[in-house]
Amino acid sequence: MQTVNKTKKQPSRFKSVGLFIILSVLIIALSVISLSLGDINIPPLDIITSFIGIGDPDLTSILVEFRLPRILLAILTGIGLAVSGVVVQSIMRNPLASPDTLGLSSGSGLAAVAITILLPLASPSVLSVAAFAGGSLVFVIVYLLAYKKGVEPIRFALIGVAVSAFCSSGIHLLISKANPNVNAALIWLSGSLWGRTWDQLIGLLPWVIILLPLIWLLAARLDLIHLGDEVARGLGARVELIRLVLLASAVAMTAAVVSVVGTIGFVGLIIPHVAKRLVGPRHKKLIPTAALLGALFVLAADLIGRGVAPPIEIPAGLIIGIIGAPYFLYLLWRESKK
Amino acid sequence: MKAVHGLSKRNRSPLRIIAIFLAVIILLLVSMFLSISIGSIHISFGTIKQALLDFDGSKEQSIIQTVRLPRLLVTAFVGANLAVAGALMQALTRNPLASPGIFGINAGASAAMVFLTVLVPGVSMIGGVLGAFLGGAFAAVIVYVMSSLIKGGDSDVKLALTGVAIQGMLMSLTQTLLIFNESKTEGVMFWLTGSVIGRDWGHVHVLLPFSVVGLLIAFGLGRASSLLSLGDDVARGLGQRVFAIRAFTAVVVIVLAGVSVAIAGPIGFVGLVVPHMVRYLIGVDYRVVLPMSALLGASLLLLADVLSRFITYPYETPVGAVTALLGTPYFIYLARRKKTERKA
């Protein structure tokens, strides 16, 4: 079935460079709009003067302390989830695999919530490690449950979704017990960027900075693995090792994102497909495209959530859920025609 | 095609069926007793008897009359409704994963309820119930149509995945609506998990007529359901008007599940699990399966509710969270077991 993509003409180098530029410009444009919108609307000119350091100090503090970290966090969230999605879909050779349907997000979320409640003073790094452990554990469970003389993509997705629902109930239960502030819990559950600061951003940044280049370096191997284990081994790739390293990186990146912004669904499932349509299946192009698209998607969702009915904010995760579910159905439908 | 409903299994002997009926009735009575007596104040059997037969207005008896009894009735009828709705759906679709939850009826009804609460602040309870019917029906139609658009593959699993996606979308919509009405968020959050806490006689009065009529009609559909579960062609050959029965059953399902969601929120997995247990116990004659599902569904939801009072004592846990935690493993078991049958 992958041959379908292979036979398609590869977009020219020129085209994909153009695409990167367009996506980057869009991201910057959305960031600027996002910086200027809020309780106080700040015109672009003031944004520029603030960043040069000659603007109104009050506006500068709003921009730097509240809006900038939030935007950067949206970008990192999108990158992390989308790239994890590309990696797991290629490794599992399952177009329905994603951080959500493999249970990575909900497992990480459950562990993060449990740690937050048991050890309220735990540092962000403890939280990330716990989230990583939770995500890995749930992934192993899903894999074992779905395994039966091989792993069929659709059954895998079904079991992953069921286990995710189980973990979500657990998260719900823990939060409703421990957190007297139901609204805050609701916002975390639905994945929001509201009220995030530099602390969270700094907690997430190292993960992305280390793992993203690592994944990109292994991109060529990912192309090989995608062709099938036999072929890849024949061409001299150490399949098991590469697979493990890549999978661990994807879990770690998802876990880091989830422990900061909560469980945002569908990004890791959908964005890889869109990226593949735009630049074809070669991972050297696919991974950066997915990263940019993911960033754009989460930024846009956050912006829509803030802009639809101010001062009320709709968590980005909910906006993504409303857009993402129909697309998931579309993917199922397309997958079924093969 | 395959023995999804254990059709290959023999129907059980009448004696066995009667024995199991008696056992389930005893289970129901025990669960009712536990439901009334256990709580922040424990109430003895004697007091319960007095409160029912010879009300003297003491504190404990008042608790029974105003708190525990309506809650018991709501729980029992919601359990019965959901279990019977699930049994009807599984017979109709010949799909072991079918249930009001998977068809999006719970999520659709919830979304409609929240929509009404936000847009029409003073909506009456009956208005809410009618909204829940519409929302549930709408979601079920969408899930059904979408899953039949997906060609090939495993019909059960397709339905389940479509249902999960639509549920996810409706939940996102519901929560988005809630954000526009924060003052009510806390109560609605609890309701959205599926809860019978604080249900009073007002709720009982709305729930009861729909439930009783719906359940009685459902029991009357037993023979038709049995035939339909054999397949459309067989049923048609035996003189059944397949389409008419389908449509009528669908209405009954939506009334049963819709009114339950309107009163107690979306309680999952009862409709999925109970019919499986019943068919395992007494076979596939739906004239017996349907009433038995009602009894067992009521008993199990009552027990789950009693259990929910202990989990984080003295705080109460929504019963929907309990059924979700207990039901998911069974759902996974079903998704796996199917595979073996096909390979075998």
**pLDDT, tens digit, 9 for 90 and up, residues A217-226:** 888 888 887 7
Is the pLDDT score of B68 beyond 60?
yes
* Cα separation, B57 vs B167, whole angstroms: 46
Q: Which of B151, B157, B166 sits opposite A155 (nearest CB)?
A: B157
B325/chain A closest Cα distance in angstroms? 6
pLDDT of residue B342: 41
Q: Tell whether A161 is within 8 A of chain B (Cβ).
A: yes
pLDDT of residue B23: 95
pTM for this one? 0.81
Highest mean pLDDT pick, A31-45, A137-151, A305-319, B91-105: B91-105
Q: What integer is the mean pLDDT of B110-130?
A: 85
Q: How does residue A194 score in pLDDT terms, banded at 50, 70 and 90?
A: confident
Q: Which residue of B has its CA nearest to A305?
A: B176
pLDDT of residue A7: 44
Q: Tell whether B324 is within 8 A of chain A (Cβ).
A: yes
Q: Tell whether B52 is within 8 A of chain A (Cβ).
A: no
B31/chain A closest Cα distance in angstroms? 24
From residue B324, how far is each of B169, B205, B272 by CA, in Å?
A: 19, 27, 11
Please indicate whether, in this complex, the C-beta atoms of B343 and A154 are within 8 angstroms of each other: no
Interchain CB contacts (distance < 8 Å): A and B: 126
Q: Which of A145, A190, A336 sits opposite B153 (nearest CB)?
A: A336
Q: What integer is the mean pLDDT of A171-186?
A: 67
Q: Which residue of B has its CA nearest to A329?
A: B162
Q: Which of A72-86, A170-184, B203-217 has the lowest mean pLDDT?
A: A170-184
pLDDT of residue A79: 95
Average pLDDT, chain B: 85
Helices assigned H by DSSP within chain B = 14-37, 45-53, 59-63, 69-93, 105-119, 125-149, 155-179, 185-192, 201-220, 222-228, 232-237, 242-264, 270-282, 286-311, 319-343
pLDDT of residue A5: 45
Is the pLDDT score of B271 beyond 80?
yes
Q: Tell whether B312 is within 8 A of chain A (Cβ).
A: yes
Side chain identity at B232, as an amino acid letter? D
Q: Which of B154, B168, B189 sits opposite A186 (nearest CB)?
A: B189
pLDDT of residue A2: 41
Is the pLDDT score of B294 beyond 90?
yes
pLDDT of residue B58: 80
Q: What integer is the mean pLDDT of B152-174?
A: 81
In this predicted model, which residue has the larger pLDDT, B105 or A126? B105
Which residues numbered 170-189 in A keep a CB inside 8 Å of some CB on B? Answer: 170, 172-173, 176-177, 182-183, 186
Is the pLDDT score of A103 beyond 80?
yes
Q: Which of B169, B193, B315 sits opposite A172 (nearest CB)?
A: B193
Give the DSSP H/E element, type plus range, for residue A154. helix A153-178
DSSP string of A182-247? Answer: HHHHHHHHT---TT--HHHHHHHHHHHHHHHHHHHHTHHHHHHHHH-HHHHHHTT--HHHHHHHHH
Q: Tell whether A190 is within 8 A of chain B (Cβ).
A: yes
Which residues numbered 180-199 in B keep a CB inside 8 Å of some CB on A? Answer: 180, 182, 185-186, 189-190, 193
Please indicate whether, in this complex, the C-beta atoms of A177 and B162 are within 8 angstroms of each other: no
Q: What integer is the mean pLDDT of A175-186?
A: 63
Please indicate whether, in this complex, the C-beta atoms of A336 and B146 are within 8 angstroms of each other: no
Please indicate whether, in this complex, the C-beta atoms of B317 and A173 are within 8 angstroms of each other: yes
Q: Could you count the other beta carbons within 10 Å of the beta carbon of residue B289? A: 26
Is the pLDDT score of A4 beyond 60?
no
Q: Which of A152-161, B322-331, B332-341 has the lowest mean pLDDT?
A: B332-341
Q: What is the phi/psi pair of residue A98, to 5°?
A: -170, 165
Please indicate whether, in this complex, the C-beta atoms of A313 and B179 are within 8 angstroms of each other: yes
* Cα separation, B105 vs A114, whole angstroms: 31
pLDDT of residue B111: 92
Average pLDDT, chain A: 82
**pLDDT, tens digit, 9 for 90 and up, residues B184-193:** 666 676 777 7
A165/chain B closest Cα distance in angstroms? 8
Q: How does residue A178 score in pLDDT terms, banded at 50, 70 and 90?
A: low
pLDDT of residue B168: 85
pLDDT of residue B4: 45
